[in-house]
A and B are shown apart, each in its own frame.
Chain A
């Protein structure tokens, strides 16, 4: 013992210095922990992280034009789009050569569809040109023959569009996603009636805020009651909160769809009581009201549960102390109880907001045209009328918003402290 302290480092049983042996053990422990996590990490990366990355990449990727029309893109590079003149013969010749190959691979329509997102009429232009491109007469200029097929080939705008979208990466989808357009002299806003995405984003945010606020107003008293009742009673009432939480989203949406319709139970009751007459039944479905009512009901448990767990930790003696010091009921609540429940409000509100802002099913089923969310546009651009780049750009914007809120949530609550059930 005494010679270990006087001469050199402490040794482990096998003669290696203790420090070294400890760090070796620590390293082994770390490796073992990582080995346990690795399979899942790999699994989540392949099935989830890569798909999200792929989507983000798609929002800027634009290889199609330069892949299918490589020669045209090179020739067009030197053309000055602001001059007002058409490109020279070399460009037309390059396009003819590119299209010959493209028609053989049947890819010319793809370019047409891609460019049609930016300038309407491009799909039919490429289709029509593709049909006749192998009949070109070598004695005439290509420019003349192209313009002969369709006047659009003689328009500067057509060529401007091709040139603008010939780079491998583009911010074009994001520009469209915020209702702007790339003009020859920089970005310009779309005319008033066509600004659909910004309108939809604002509507999504406003409705989400309304739902969050409603959940807070409705959820706060219930959480307070649950936190202050004796355990046995609170557990019983808790079932009324947890049962909706565990019930399928589709079940709750269909229940509301049935309840709120014109011939539904709620309208029947209102008519029966005599509040409204039979021929002025309320339209509560397929509009914003329908979406807000249904989503408030669906998301309410997500507000009540965090509020409840925070309120459970506030000692009831504080309120009594405040009152015995002369505070009125209201002052005691507002100055003593409420500030302590703010973390719960923050957690619940952010949770409800994050969940609600990306909702798709409920707005689709009960929202009608005026109650649609941004998600509904995304779904439409993936499945119904494909414009995957635009869908990805809208998705990236939504994802950015949610990530920002998630970081905020992590700061307030800590993601490790999420409790379920």
Chain B
């Protein structure tokens, strides 16, 4: 007790006490929140997850896809599309659609992870379809082969997604989006479900191992440092030509003007 009474009026006592209090509250909050999250997950078994999903579906999706996901004039039936499709469309923000334009674009997702999982469970419960995957399930880093993946990408994907995976134009304003910065599970799900204009790459066409190789190549291309300097968007000769005319020739003409300026 001597210690406390000796230092309780020390000039650092106040700030230290405040710091200790903040740390206590912070830790406590984090632990309590983690505990409550766990509680949500454990308390919702499959049936309740489906029920939850059905409720979200009725609120957010049924106006276009129909009350029982049977589809309507403006949106397709979701019976049999499977959890993978829901996970891809909802978790990348494509669904719900922002507007009825040429194709759904990637944006900030509207539903969080649990809501997406519930929706996926509901849609999967309607009829069997491709199951969703998680990033952890995909062992692309271990079992993929970058060189083979590149070859597969050039054979199957590059004609729409560009040689460097930067995306490309399709007809009537549709497009193949860039594959850079896409989560591995979403790349995988896109291949097995064929969203929008994309064809389905069934496991008989591209085996699951080959799909992992493609993901590995995409991740490599994404993380490869700019080897030759500024990448100029990696879209090839168009930006190169633009830079040659503007910076290259522009700089040289500027210097030519300077060289021929009369000394005053």
Q: Are the chains A and B members of one assembly?
A: no
A residues with CB within 8 A of B: none
B interface residues, Cβ below 8 angstroms from A: none
